[in-house]
Amino acid sequence: MSNEIIVGLDIGTTKIACFIGQATENGKIKILGFGKTESIGVERGVVKNIDDTAESIKKAVEEASAKAEYEVTEVYVGIAGQHIRSTQSRGSLVLKPGPKITEEKDIEELIQNQYNTLLDPGETIIHVLPQTFFIDGEELTVNPVGVYGNTLEANFLIVTGKTNNLWHIKESVKRANLKIKGVVLEPIASAESVLDDRDKEAGVALVDIGGGTTDIAIFEEGVIRYTSVIPMAGNLITTDVESTCNIMRKQAEQLKIKFGSCLPEMVKQDDIISIPGYRNQAAREISMKMLAQIINARTQMILEMATSEISSAGCTKLRGGIVLTGGGAKLTYIDKLAAFISATDTRIGLPDEHLVDDSPEEIIHPMYATGIGLLLYGIKDKRSQIEKEEVKITEEVKPEEKEITTSESETQPEQESVTKSSKGKGFVDAVTGFFKDFFTEDEK
């Protein structure tokens, strides 16, 4: 895996970013190339103009490819937007011949069965995420592989999106002369880069404040329990600054980033910023205190909505608090404002923990959490594929051993399969398999 090169493509509302990375021997990622361009044709995380989006994708990928000296042909893509929704579901599978030891293939079959869930017209399943497993009605606190019983059941979180919106992403990437290797919900990708297993086990709410939407993902006891999308984010803050201060949009964005604060009480009353006038107009003076008040009002609204979503999820063990990421997480004092509103410990999530030490400082920014998370997700996906191929080859080469094991299992119920099964093996592939088919069906 140390030579494996992965490409992540983050199609956001304000930017399109491409990351080319390589897994190292110590499990970290070395960034080989990075490209970013303005996102044209995307509104609130949804592709509206396919040709414009395809051109933006080309620019970002070409820049990253030139730096990495690597030709990109396939990418892992992040997906977001207010059309995303999640629902709870429960599935069951009778183990045959039963009773028997639960195997990895049983879990994969149960997961795949959930893709037959009845949906509203025009929707497609993106992820099927296992929550809790049961054997013969008894809840398990461990992986079900290796547990003896008659019936395997599980609670699932099913994430869906509008089919038309998914097709627009597919077509945009295709017109950029690329193939989609896998698609990942953006807050799940972001979580890969800014959270670790301890965070997820303790319980944590990830709030990804992008340009068009604010995405929420809640983890508890190591498992994702809830996802949600708020159709308000950084662009609305910029719009407020633009209209209230009567300045150009690019000026408003620069003001927000360079001088903006979420806490007006931390800004001096007499601090003034001078903005060049448009054409022959006189320069405009703007109070930093007033700028902070504008930013505070909209940011508070976004954080209050996020806090409400977190409360409604019913997850009470958030010992890890709230982690803010995305471009909006760099607003000055936003973590303090979020902690005050939510009455919960809050920190900024930076995607640096999984990168090699000499990574470019430019990318150690919460706005790139999704892009780097896509690389991490892709590495896990590739590893899962390789492991499955190795198992398949082993079974084909040693059919006699398989028969002996089956025979012995009559007296010792498949204990051999327990020792050979690794915890969680195949989960990434099972969860994403169906959605990959959606994006590659016309290439088969």
Residue 252: give its domain's CATH number.
3.30.420.40
Which CA distances in Å does 239 have to 86, 243, 288, 424? 29, 6, 17, 45
Q: Is residue 55 in a domain? A: no
56-63 mean pLDDT? 97
pLDDT (tens digit per residue) in 91-147: 999 998 879 999 999 999 999 999 998 888 999 999 999 999 999 999 998 889 999
Per-residue pLDDT band for 416 (boundaries 50, 70, 90) equals very low
pLDDT tens digits for range 265-307: 999 888 999 888 777 778 888 999 999 999 999 999 999 999 9
* Of residues 392, 440, 439, 427, the one with CA closest to residue 129: 427
Q: How confident is the model at residue 422 (pLDDT cuts 50, 70, 90)?
A: very low
pLDDT of residue 133: 96
The answer to whether residue 343 sits within a structural domain is no
Please check whether residue 381 lies inside any domain of the structure.
Answer: no
Q: Is residue 93 a contact partner of residue 103, using CB atoms and an 8 Å limit?
A: no
pLDDT band for position 443 (50/70/90)? low
The least confident of 161-165, 236-240, 426-430 is 426-430
Angstrom distances, CA of residue 144 to CA of 50, 88, 259, 262: 43, 20, 52, 46
Asked if residue 239 is part of any domain, the answer here is yes
In a domain, 199, yes or no: no
**Which range of residues forms the domain containing residue 269?**
234-299
268 lies in a domain?
yes
Q: Which of these ranges, 65-79, 388-402, 427-441, has the smallest mean pLDDT?
A: 427-441
Question: Is residue 420 one of the residues assigned to a domain?
Answer: no
Q: What is the pLDDT of residue 282?
A: 81
DSSP H helices in 343-426: 369-397, 399-408, 415-420
Rank 41-45, 53-57, 405-409 by mean pLDDT and report only the highest: 53-57
Q: What is the pTM of this model?
A: 0.84
Contacts of residues 314-317 at CB distance under 8 Å and 24 or more positions apart, as own/partner, are 315/203, 315/205, 315/218, 315/220, 315/225, 315/226, 317/202, 317/203, 317/220, 317/221
- The predicted-structure confidence for 185-232, as pLDDT tens digits, reads as follows 999 999 999 999 999 999 999 999 999 999 999 999 889 999 999 999
Q: 121 lies in a domain? A: no
Query: Of all residues in the chain, what percent carry a pLDDT higher than 90?
Result: 68
Count up the domains in the chain and report the number: 1
| Per-residue pLDDT, 420 | 36
